[in-house]
């Protein structure tokens, strides 16, 4: 028995595999905790009806985000099991899922409250930034696999990793603390005012 294996109900558990899975899906777990936190906030009996309605809208957005990220777990399992993964398009599933979630947020979910709109803007902004990074890394990999550039690591790979994690963290914070963290709401409202004046 290896030192990182443990017997649990007569079966060996490979802790490297478990910790790898948990770290790979850390954002999914955090979104689950955010969804539970928002659910608890909706059950506050001392809140007014307007506050409860606002919290329910934030709960809807956080539930959609959790479902979107949790859906990746079985999709990744099926892709790995059936060997569907391609060297040319390894991030396509993430890109399509992010874009599908943006479409659901923009055209299906009707959010009316101010904090709900703020959360929705931050989530859409973060998902679109992640989608842009997925497209750029996809182009980079296509160029490498077609031998148009060398297969050497370069600074964009670090930007991709940091960027994806940063925008995921922004999304989680916006759903947990519905405040204008990056001043996106002010920028959005200022653009609206400029259009009205013109």
pLDDT attached to residue 194: 53
**Would 17 be classed as within a structural domain?**
no
Look at residue 16 and tell me whether its pLDDT is greater than 90: no
Q: Which of helix, strand or coil describes residue 15?
A: helix
List all residues 6 or more positions away from 193 whose beta carbon is below 8 Å from its beta carbon: none
Residue 156 lies in a domain: yes
Tokens of 39: 């659910």
**Domain for residue 4, yes or no?**
no
pLDDT band at 182 (very low <50, low <70, confident <90, very high): confident
For residue 164, is it within any domain?
yes
DSSP 45-73: TTS-HHHHHHHHHHHHHHHHHHHHHHTHH
pLDDT (average), residues 50-79: 89
Average of per-residue pLDDT values in the chain:
83
Cβ neighbours of residue 38 closer than 8 Å, sequence gap 6 or more: 55, 58, 59, 62, 175, 176
Is 83 part of a structural domain of the chain? Answer: yes
Q: Is residue 110 part of a domain?
A: yes
Domain of residue 173, residue span: 32-193
Q: What would the pLDDT profile of 18-52 be if each residue is shown by its tens digit?
A: 676 666 788 999 999 999 999 998 887 777 888 88
User: Is 173 contained in some domain?
Assistant: yes
pLDDT of residue 103: 96
Predicted local distance difference test score (pLDDT) of residue 15: 67
**What predicted TM-score, i.e. pTM, was given to this entire model?**
0.82
Structurally, the chain folds into a number of domains equal to: 1
Please indicate, yes or no, if residue 96 is contained in any of the structural domains: yes
Residues recorded for the chain: 198
């Amino acid at each position: 028995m290896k030192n990182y294996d443990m017997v649990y109900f007569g079966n060996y558990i490979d802790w490297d595999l478990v910790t790898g899975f948990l770290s790979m899906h850390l954002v999914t777990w955090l979104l689950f905790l955010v969804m539970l936190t928002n659910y608890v906030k909706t059950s506050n009996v001392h809140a007014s009806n307007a506050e409860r309605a606002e919290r329910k809208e934030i709960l809807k957005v956080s539930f959609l985000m959790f479902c979107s990220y949790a859906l990746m777990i079985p999709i990744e399992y099926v892709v790995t099991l059936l060997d569907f993964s391609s060297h040319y398009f390894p991030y396509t599933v993430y890109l399509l899922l992010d874009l599908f979630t943006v479409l659901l947020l923009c055209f299906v979910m009707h959010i009316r409250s101010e904090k709900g709109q703020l959360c929705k803007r931050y989530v859409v902004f973060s998902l679109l930034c992640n989608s842009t990074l997925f497209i750029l890394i996809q182009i980079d990999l296509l160029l490498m696999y077609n031998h148009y550039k060398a297969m050497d690591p370069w600074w964009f790979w670090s930007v991709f990793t940091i960027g994806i994690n940063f925008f995921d963290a922004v999304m989680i914070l916006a759903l947990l603390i519905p405040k204008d963290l990056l001043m996106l709401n002010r920028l959005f409202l200022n653009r609206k005012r400029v259009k009205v004046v013109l």
